[in-house]
Structure 1
Amino acid sequence: MLVIDPKSSTPPFEQLRAQVIAAVRSGEMAAGDKLPTVRKLAADLGLAANTVARAYRELEQDEVIETRGRNGSFVSATGDATERHLQVAARAFADRAAQLGVAPEEARRVVSAALGIR
């Protein structure tokens, strides 16, 4: 289910990280699902083990997966932590915009511009 595009300008570890997050968000991967070992996934995808290990480390830092020692890596039981972090950041932005006296429409415009939405 995970595929790396060698022609992409996006680094392989980031492609892998993004695909795992997308699979968790879509429900394709559920809390408690076991991920392949770093070596197995690296071999399957034709990547260096360090590349997969980096993706796993970043996914763990983002609380999308958790590593249970010798038992392996699993989709985190806390669900999609990325969504949670995004909501916290949005709330902090909204609170700061209100403190600055920025109208909601203006704050929305600033966020849209930052996201490249016109």
Structure 2
Amino acid sequence: MRIVIDPGADEPPYAQIRDAVAGQARDGMLPAGTRLPAVRALAGELGLAVNTVARAYRELEQAGLVETRGRHGTVVTARAAGASAEATRLAGQYATATRAHGVPPEQALDLARAALGL
């Protein structure tokens, strides 16, 4: 798994991690069942706070793209590996648009859930 954080990007580091993992899973670079690095290990490797990586993993898990298995770590789900490229692109556009309009992330997620009838 290769993740590069751009400190000058408009997107916060946790979102860059989330998007990188989701993209690599979608592109087949991280097949279903692939174990992700431990939160602390990835945080150290990227020079980020543990909570930053934990948030990215939490959002990936909430989206069903990874599954945490306790001591066995966090693994990529089959859903992530088969995610539609178009759906991923549209989700990225939605995230960019809501950030541009100053919508807080939790509110943007609530809006998306409501639109999906969840």
TM-score over 0.5 for the alignment? yes
Q: Does 1:19 align with 2:3?
A: no
User: Counterparts of 2:16 and 2:3 in 1: how far apart (Å)?
Assistant: 9
Helix, strand or coil for the counterpart of 2:29? coil
User: Runs of 5+ in structure 1 lacking a partner?
Assistant: 87-118
Counterpart in the other structure of 2:57: 56
User: Counterparts of 2:11 and 2:43 in 1: how far apart (Å)?
Assistant: 17
Q: Determine which structure has more spread, i.e. the larger CA radius of gyration.
A: 1
Helix, strand or coil for the counterpart of 1:74? strand
| RMSD over equivalenced CA pairs, Å | 2.1
Q: Identity of paired residues, percent?
A: 51
Counterpart in the other structure of 1:96: none
Displacement after TM superposition at 1:68 (Å): 0.3
Q: Which amino acid aligns with 1:64?
A: L
Q: Which amino acid aligns with 1:47?
A: L
User: Runs of 5+ in structure 2 lacking a partner?
Assistant: 88-118
Conservation of the 8 A alpha-carbon contact between 1:60 and 1:67: yes
Closer, same or farther: CA 24–5 of 1 in aligned 2, 3 Å: same
Conservation of the 8 A alpha-carbon contact between 2:26 and 2:83: no
User: Counterparts of 2:8 and 2:22 in 1: how far apart (Å)?
Assistant: 21
Counterpart in the other structure of 1:112: none
Counterpart in the other structure of 1:69: 70
Counterpart in the other structure of 2:116: none
User: Counterparts of 1:16 and 1:79 in 2: how far apart (Å)?
Assistant: 15
Q: TM-score, normalised by structure 1?
A: 0.67
Displacement after TM superposition at 1:24 (Å): 0.7
Displacement after TM superposition at 1:9 (Å): 1.3
Aligned residues: 87
